[in-house]
Every structure is written in structure tokens, then in C-alpha cells.
Amino acid sequence: MEFRYLGHSGFKISEITFGNWLTHGSQVENDVATQCVRAALDAGISTFDTADVYANTAAETVLGEALKGERRESLEIFTKVFGPTGPKGHNDLGLSRKHIMESINGSLSRLQTDYVDLYQAHRYDFETPLEETMQAFADIVRQGKALYIGVSEWTAQQIRDGHALAKELGFQLISNQPQYSMLWRVIEAEVVPTSEELGLSQIVWSPMAQGVLSGKYHPGKPAPEGSRATDSKGGARMIERWMSDEVLTGVQQLKPIADEAGLTMAQLSIAWVLQNKNVASAIMGASRPEQIEKNVAAAGVKLDQGIMDKIDAAIGSLAERDPAQTKSPASREA
């Protein structure tokens, strides 16, 4: 495993982050989830990402149990705030001071830790003054409940505005967590240049495009049983945009490129996002321990320009590049 600095800070994280978004507390049993966490630790992963909204707080609980007994100082634990949790009442979502302050306490309890290394605004909240949100984050940092603050799926302008307020309040935004893959490149035009200017890194989710870039799905053929595309609990909905024959045909053209690089298609997709110098880490989930053991081999891989050019030629116009597709909602109802 290799490690990278997160933004303009002295904080290092593993190139591969283990995330438990669509799995722990919902899609897999808790004992299997724990096995996946153990496999991540054995593979050298020290960075773990979750959110209070995942499985309506259950994912945080599962991760806290799985990490119990580990040396806290050797781990980097991330979580997020924004989405509706608990009974989902009128103050149970967003980035108000009330929701942030109550949410950090709940997350720390479930994660069985006194602090998180990185606390992230899961989305931008148009209905709460940004000054209120950033003041709450500043207070959480001063209280020692979070060491660093990041955001997720903020636009370039939102990042710029948040960065300016954070600087006034005596702390810094050091990261953004966007979707990024060969098929989803919307951060490249605006978010990445702004982040490089201001000192933020990207911690990217879905580097395998919900598993499509692993090559397991073939045009004109049914999805494999037990795969995300057959999951009725949310996985199928998330992956459906990539399940057209056109996309799947293009993805299959990556197979000889991966072979040339000595990688599996899944490893190639993770290694590809890590070639972007503004990416500090790629988030990888797993429903089985052996998935981690295979995919973690993407860490430290250097792809030469010839391989990168062939990937661009294979994917071509299939990749989404529109910066307007950044996943920040227009309102809390979006």
C-alpha cells in the first residue's frame, strides 16, 4: 500500500480507502462485513469511509464494531453529514448547526471513537446559510471531534465559497469526495483545477462505475446473479445508467488493454483514477473479502501514456464530462 497527503495538509491516507456505502448494514450480513474490514486491514488499507445516512446509521455501527480493538492512531476514519437519518424529521437532514452538532455526536457513538479524522459535508445545502454550516464545522474541529473537514459532490464555486469561509474561521477544507471513473469525468473541467488552486484533494467514489468497469456485465446478456445490477435494495437503481449495450460494448474493449498492463479490468479502473495527481485515494467497497485482496493490487500502479491513450480511445464519447452533472442537489428535496 502507498499513502498520499490529503490536500495541503500533513495528513496521509492510504491510496485505497475502504467504503461501506451500499453493503454494510444492508446488503451483506454483519459477519461478512467484518470479514471485509479485516481483509482491508490485512491488505494495508488504513483509511475507512462511511456516512450516517448509509443504511440509516447501521453502516457506521457495523464499521465501529469491525474496527474495535484496532490501534486508533493507525486508522483514518471518515464519515459524513447531510442526508436524512433516524425518523427523518424536519431537522434530521441538511447542514444546519443543529443537525451537524447532533449528527457528529451520533456518529462518534456508533463508530466507538472520540473523534473522526475527516468529517465531510455529504452534499451542499442551499437552504442553510453557508456561514452557519462552516461555523459549526469550525466548532467541531476546535472541540476535537473532527481533525479535518471535507466536502462531497460540491461544485467548483461551492468549494471556493466554503474554502474562503473556512480560512476566515481558522481551519481549512482539505478534500472533496466526488464520483469519478473512466465513465464519469465531470470533475475534470472545473472541480479539479479549483481544488488544485485551493489545496484540496479528491477522495473518489465509484472508480469502477458501480462495478461495470470490472467487465462482469456483457452486452445482450443478463446480469450475473447476485451482482449489483440484480440488487433490488438500491444497487440496481444506481447502476442502471451504465447498463446499455453501447456502454457495455465499449467497456469490453478495455479487456485487452488491462491484459497488456498485467491487470484485471477492475484493477485497471482503480489504477486509472489514481493517475490523476489531484486524487488522493479511491474508495473501494466489497461484499466479499476476496474482492479486496484482488483490487488492492491497483495501489501503486503507474500506467504509461500509451495505456492511458488506449483507454480514452476505447471509452471515447461514452464518458460523461459535463460539470453540471455534479451531484449536488438544488434543494433538500432533490
Catalytic residues: 54
Q: What angle do CA 70, 43, 5 make, to 5 degrees?
A: 80
Kindly give the residue spans of alpha helices, DSSP state H, lying in 112-155: 130-142
How many CA within 13 A on the CB side of residue 259?
Answer: 6
Residues 252/243, Cβ–Cβ less than 8 Å: no
Neighbours of 124 (CB within 10 A): 25
Neighbours of 201 (CB within 10 A): 27
Neighbours of 169 (CB within 10 A): 16
Neighbours of 202 (CB within 10 A): 26
Cell of 275: 493517475
Residues 129/163, Cβ–Cβ less than 8 Å: no
Cell of 196: 488544485
What's the rounded Cα separation, in Å, for the pair 254 and 265? 7
What's the rounded Cα separation, in Å, for the pair 289 and 167? 41
DSSP string, 79-122: EEE-S--TT--TTSSSS-HHHHHHHHHHHHHHHT-S-EEEEEES
SS3 content of the chain, % helix, strand, coil (to 5): 45, 15, 40
> Looking up cell 496521509, which residue turns up?
12
